[in-house]
Amino acid sequence: MNRIKTQTEPAISWQQELSNAITSIPELLDYLHLPQYLSSASEDATHPFKLLAPKPYLDRIEKNNPNDPLLLQILPVHSENLTIEGYGKDPLEEAEHTPQKAIVHKYKNRLLIITTGTCAVNCRYCFRRHFPYGDNQLAQDEWQSVLEYIEQHPSINEVILSGGDPLIMKDSQLSKRIQSLESLPQVTRVRIHSRLPVVIPQRVTPDMLQWIEQTPLDVVMVLHINHANEIATDVALAVQRLKNAGALVLNQGVILKGINDTLESQVNLSEALFKHGILPYYMFLFDPVEGAAHFDFPLEQAQKLMGEVAAELPGYLVPRLAKEIPGKTAKTLFAPIL
């Protein structure tokens, strides 16, 4: 089934796609023609981190292939219930940098705002899978407290909207919040970290493009793509619309064991990103979050892998290998081993 539609030919809205997302293991296995015996190994891993997978994303997964790299990112597995030393609920120690509700302030000139606790897909390796979103939900009348915090810290010139996924918010709400940031003369950039244009490309709506075009702020859209197979035709079209509206589109990925930990997968990803106007930005080392240790890939192996990538590609296609280490004033970069 071809799910691709133009902007003037809306079929199923992004909200409907989100509402229709698969949330049960048996339904997921049936949809992808996978053996039902996988259900017993998956069901117990969905508590409390639920399965959530929209169909536009699932339609890029090879049917009857339990090792598909896109499937492995969203399929709960039994090992998520294991307690392993060194893997915690707050691997980046964000609680230490939360001066007030919904604000994470680690770096001098940048402020991250937790806009929502909801995503369009629950990635099993998510470093915020245990984040206390309930304690950090901003009511409509609490947004002013964020603006006041920024005003009190004049060094902040870039605001990062994160979550969850900030694009879960309606465009009318997003537009109002962007406009309120415009009123702060110190703020010059707004960065949006989102997976929605990837998993549900219909999210890139005319209303969204309008507020991107109209804001005087520089808009940076940071997508999260780990594998070339995630970039379907409708994703490429959504990215082109974002770029045409004036957004700078970057990608942050994570090296995940068994998913994109080979030279071929990394080269294919960078080539696919660049082909569609997305700049490979960071390739992060896995954050040691409880419940996802099976995705971890050792640092030295990652450095060797990125060294192999550097030998294959021009420098502008090689993302920076990085890790966010608690207490550091910037992300830590690791040189490829050549």
Coil/strand/helix, residue 223: strand
For residue 6, is pLDDT > 50? no
pLDDT of residue 323: 96
Residue with more model confidence, 249 or 137: 249
Residue with more model confidence, 307 or 139: 307
Superfamily for the 94-333 domain: Aldolase class I (3.20.20.70)
Lowest mean pLDDT among 5-9, 77-81, 201-205, 215-219: 5-9
Q: Work out the number of other CB atoms within 10 angstroms of the CB of residue 229.
A: 17
For residue 2, is pLDDT > 50? no
pLDDT of residue 41: 67
pLDDT of residue 138: 80
For residue 316, is pLDDT > 90? yes
Please, which pLDDT band fits residue 131 given cuts at 50, 70 and 90? confident
**Cα–Cα distance for residue pair 333/316, rounded to 1 Å:** 16
Tokens 């106007």 belong to residue: 277
Under 8 Å between Cβ of 138 and 101: yes
**Cα–Cα distance for residue pair 174/217, rounded to 1 Å:** 14
For residue 152, is pLDDT > 90? yes
pLDDT of residue 243: 98
**Cα–Cα distance for residue pair 169/163, rounded to 1 Å:** 11
Q: Of the ranges 46-55, 84-93, 271-280, 323-332, which is most confident?
A: 271-280
For residue 295, is pLDDT > 90? yes
Please, which pLDDT band fits residue 139 given cuts at 50, 70 and 90? confident
Radius of gyration of the chain (CA): 19
Beta strands in the chain (DSSP E): 103-107, 110-114, 158-162, 189-194, 218-223, 248-254, 279-284, 320-323, 332-333
Beta strands in 155-244 (DSSP E): 158-162, 189-194, 218-223
For residue 3, is pLDDT > 50? no
pLDDT of residue 143: 93
Beta strands in 152-200 (DSSP E): 158-162, 189-194
Coil/strand/helix, residue 306: helix
Cβ contacts of 97 within 8 Å, gap of 6 or more: 104, 105, 106
Q: What is the pLDDT of residues 210-252, one digit of tens each?
A: 999 999 999 999 999 999 999 999 999 999 999 999 999 999 9
pLDDT of residue 45: 81
Please, which pLDDT band fits residue 263 given cuts at 50, 70 and 90? very high
- Mean pLDDT over residues 96-109, rounded? 91
pLDDT of residue 11: 74
Coil/strand/helix, residue 61: coil
- Mean pLDDT over residues 133-161, rounded? 90
Please, which pLDDT band fits residue 10 given cuts at 50, 70 and 90? low
Domain boundary assignment for the chain = 14-81, 94-333
**What's the mean pLDDT when you consider all of the chain?**
93
- Mean pLDDT over residues 35-41, rounded? 82
Residue with more model confidence, 46 or 273: 273
- Mean pLDDT over residues 324-334, rounded? 92
β-sheet bridge partners, residue 220:
191, 248
Characterize 301-311 residue by residue with b for buried, 16 or more Cβ atoms within 10 angstroms of its Cβ, and e for exposed: ebbebbbbbbe
